[in-house]
Amino acid sequence: MTTPRIGVLAVQGDVREHAAALDRSGAVAVPVRRPDELDGVTGLIIPGGESTTIDKLVRAFGLQEPLRARLADGMPAYGSCAGLIMLADRVEDARADQETLGGLDVTVRRNAFGRQVDSFEADLVVRGIEDEDRPLRAVFIRAPWVESVGPAAQVLATVPEGPAEGPAAGRVVAVRQGHLLATSFHPEVSGDDRIHALFVGMVRGR
C-alpha cells in the first residue's frame, strides 16, 4: 500500500503534534508554507491556532488561491479548531476583513467555547472512526462550534447532553463533507489517533 504524503499547514498552531499523529497513522507528514510545497502532497491538515492570523499568513505566503484551487479540485483536507473556521463557508463573529478557504457547508461561531465555557474536555461518540462505540476524549481550547449545518455536510459528533456541559451541550463539534473533515477539538494532543486515521483513510480513498 502506498504511503500517502499529507501536508500540515505550517504557518501557526500544533504542526509538530499533527505531524506525529500522521506518522503514527501510516502517512508521511510534510510541512507546507509555500505553494510549491503544496504541489507535493495528496491531502492537507489545517491546525488550530488563531483563525484571523492563519488567514493573514496564508494570504501573505501566497497560499490562499492555490489552497482554494486544490480544495475545489477534491484534495482531502482536515481542519481542527481554527482549521474548522478556515474550511467553513460562513463564520459568525468574524472580523470584517476575515476570509476563509471555504468548502464546508456550515456556519461556525468563532471562540464559542472559549468565551462561554472555557477550555474543557469531553468524551464524544464520533461517527466513522474505528471502534466508534468507544468514546473519544476530545480537548477543546477556545474552540469554535458549528452553529448550523447545510444539507451537503454530515454531522459526525456533538457534545453530550447534560447539565455538566452547560451551553456546550448538544453543540456540533465534528463534521464531514465528502473530502473535507473538521473538528472543533484538538485530537493531536489527546493521544487518540482515530481522527487522523480516519483522515489518512480518506486520503488513500482518493
CA distances from 129 to 40, 177, 195, 196, 201 (A): 27, 15, 6, 9, 10
Based on the residue annotation, tell me whether 186 is a catalytic residue of this protein.
Answer: yes
Tell me, yes or no, if 165 is annotated catalytic: no
The catalytic position among 18, 81, 179, 196 is 81
CA angle 184, 72, 37 (to 5 degrees): 80
Cell of 110: 468563532
Please give the Cα distance from 172 to 184 (Å, whole number): 8
Catalytic residue among 18, 179, 188, 196: 188
Is residue 98 packed enough to be buried (19+ CB in 10 Å), middle (13-18) or exposed (0-12)? middle
Computed on alpha carbons and rounded to an integer, the radius of gyration of the chain in Å comes to: 16
Which of 17, 18, 179, 186 is catalytic? The answer is: 186
What CA–CA distance (Å, rounded) separates 28 from 194? Answer: 16
Asked if residue 64 lies in contact with residue 30, where contact means CB atoms within 8 angstroms, the answer is no
Q: Is 188 a catalytic residue?
A: yes
Q: Identity (one letter) of the amino acid at 128?
A: G
Mind telling me the catalytic residues?
81, 186, 188
